Chain A
Amino acid sequence: EDQVTQSPEALRLQEGESSSLNCSYTVSGLRGLFWYRQDPGKGPEFLFTLYSAGEEKEKERLKATLTKKESFLHITAPKPEDSATYLCAAKKPGNQFYFGTGTSLTVIP
């Protein structure tokens, strides 16, 4: 069964305290692993797409990496404005994304 699992469910960090979010997936025929950021009351905002194991993408304080079974979203020296829910989604052949339940990140000043 295709499944995407994110951990932890919630994460509280002090400003400047780096950490990583995990996304484990069991999806046959993966056609991309996507990361989104979602603010309360808003729709998800696209961050990254990763296609193959070993691939890395960076944007400001965020870096996403991919292995054959997991993806990590590394947050370096986070700021309060990085507080949000981070969703990962696996795409199979076709048009459907399989989303995880997200990690709710709170960065305390």
Chain B
Amino acid sequence: DAGVTQSPTHLIKTRGQQVTLRCSPKSGHDTVSWYQQALGQGPQFIFQYYEEEERQRGNFPDRFSGHQFPNYSSELNVNALLLGDSALYLCASSLDRDRGRGYTFGSGTRLTVV
């Protein structure tokens, strides 16, 4: 049973560019959350998607946007990249009706902005 799959695994972008990260949730899961993890820090909540809509958003600027597709997969888009956007971006999936189980995280996409 495949877990959460994220692509690409690593990415280098130039300041000012735009980037799209992709996530396929664990089979049977319908909810996708995105987190940003800076080096040595805990993950910070970006937003969550359910039923193809953004359900909740953390304290991140509008440069961060996302999408969820009918097959529950999701994309995270970041525009006008800043050096401070360099981080590990984690996708986590869950089943909406079973929130107590905790999320299943992917291995992340390591984004480096130069």
Contact = CB atoms under 8 A, between A and B. Distances in A.
- In the complex, which of the residues A51, A96, A99 has the most CB atoms of chain B within 10 Å of its own CB atom? A96
Interface residues of A, number: 24
Nearest to A94: B56
A99 B103 CA distance: 13
Contacts of A95: 31, 33, 48, 50, 55-56, 99
A87 interface: yes
B100 A43 contact: no
Contacts of B4: 43
A101 B101 contact: no
A43 B26 CA distance: 14
Contacts of A16: none
11 contacts: A34-B102, A36-B105, A43-B105, A44-B43, A44-B90, A49-B102, A91-B99, A95-B48, A96-B56, A98-B45, A99-B42
Given A95-B99, A97-B35, A101-B42, 19 more contacts: A34-B102, A36-B105, A42-B107, A42-B108, A43-B4, A43-B90, A44-B90, A44-B105, A49-B101, A49-B102, A89-B42, A91-B99, A96-B58, A97-B43, A97-B45, A97-B103, A98-B45, A100-B42, A102-B42
Contacts of B101: 46, 49
Contacts of A102: 42
Contacts, number: 59
Interface residues of B, number: 27
Interface string A73-109: 0000000000000010101001111111110000000
A29 interface: no
Contacts of B84: none
Interface in A1-43: 4, 32, 34, 36, 41-43
A46 B42 contact: no
